[in-house]
Amino acid sequence: MTLRRRLTMLAVTIAAVPLAVGGCTADRDPSGKGHAAPPELTVTPGDKAREVPVSAEVGTAVKGGRVTGVKLTDDKGKQVKAEPREDGSGWVPSTPLQPKRTYTAEVTATGDSGATTTRTSTFTTMAKSTKPQITSTLYFVGNRTYGTAMPVTVAFDPGIPKEARADVQRRLFVKTNPPQPGAWSWLEDGSQVYYRAPDFWRPGTTISVRAGLQGLPIGKDKIGDAERTATSKIGKQVALEIDNDTKQMTVLRDGKQVRRIPVSLGKPSTPTSSGKMVIMEKHERTTFDTRGEPDGGYVVDVDDAQRLTWGGEFIHSAPWSEGDQGSTNVSHGCTNVAATAADWLMGVTQVGDLVTVKGTEVELQAGNGWTAWNVSWDEFIRGSALPVPAGLRPAPVAPAHPGAVAGGSPAPAPSVSGR
């Protein structure tokens, strides 16, 4: 089977002795020509290994050839589906292995001359772990249509420590069709990791995601919690640009302006954030409850609300401020628009659209929303725990106004507060 992984991936290290097979030289034939030596093959987990994590992969290393066959079966003789890593360093089971079960891996390597080496390794997985789990949330739901700025986001509670991020990142897989490779980038505190390509997703792209973290050892005393998968598509281009100087929102589709909408942003005491944000969720009607917040204390029902940050910044209908829209900032940080405009926007935008705000008193903070686009590509890839291919760069001429029409909401988010 062919794997179109778009992430440089390595085999998970298993605490077991590998099984190494050295090449040997056959006797020479009467003609004086020597037979080619078979390739050297190393397989992990090693034969008779025990207490193997259920996140284990079949690791393969070949000298003088390449792997041409891998077969993994359980102790009942049932074959386990697996896919090869792009770098050929291992085969990843399509689902986690079962605890306290015995598996057999049969690996064949073929040398350049055609000589082959086949070795078998039988190993037993550990019992179900009692270590504390790190909770993961995949903010990418299946069977949806997302905007072209939609990053694949995985959140962790508690955050992943730096020394464990490479192991976790190796178990995060993204596949795109047509191919559009990208990279992962971690927030400094390890609470979120984003995946995106150097440029915005092309409309019509299918994205398949797997967070294969169930049973994965994370550091010395924790494990991953679950296996999560999703496949969705990317829709048409739509973007919103909000300028505090003009108090106007420009709506663009395929890079062309389709409408300008007057706005009222956050007043000086509660300013709106400037930066590149992504629409995270949409509500036809919701309640903003800011009781207990320093600048809050109110409860109000709002229509046509679109979340931009975890901190409670939304675009939403605000009929009470229509007299100020286009001239004065009066909100608690949200982008206020007229009721008719908010209703129209709900039919145009969707989760994953890019929203750019400029000219306000404060800058968007990393991690306050899905902030993968609020940094340059060079800064983004510095957050990867694994090497990023040097040739993975943005196109010389980026689209003038990226964004997209999409559909649906991501996985459950924190409670709505509104500002």
What residues act catalytically? 316, 334
Order of strands, sheet of 19-21, starting from the edge strand that comes earlier in the sequence: 19-21, 40-44, 58-63, 90-93, 82-84
The amino acid at residue 341 is: A
Cα dist. 352→71, 196, 201, 378 in Å?
40, 12, 10, 22
Q: With H, G, I as helix, E, B as strand and everything else as coil, classify residue 313.
A: coil
Nearest to 60 by CA among 112, 3, 108: 108
For residue 167, is it left (φ>0), alpha (ψ between -120 and 50) or beta?
alpha
For residue 62, is it left (φ>0), alpha (ψ between -120 and 50) or beta?
beta
For β-strands 183-186 and 172-177, DSSP reports them as unpaired
Burial, 165: exposed, middle or buried (Cβ in 10 Å; 0-12, 13-18, 19+)?
Answer: buried
Q: How far apart are CA 230 and CA 210, in angstroms?
A: 7
Q: How far apart are CA 346 and CA 202, in angstroms?
A: 22
Peptide bond into 158 cis (omega under 30): yes
Residue 263: count other Cβ atoms within 10 Å of its Cβ. Answer: 29
Nearest to 236 by CA among 148, 310, 159, 114: 148
Place of tokens 């992504």: 278
Which run of H or of E encompasses 29? none
Cα dist. 392→6, 48, 181, 319, 401 in Å?
11, 41, 8, 46, 21
Residue 168, phi then psi, degrees to nearest 5: -65, -45
What residue spans of 108-256 are helical by DSSP H?
A: 162-169
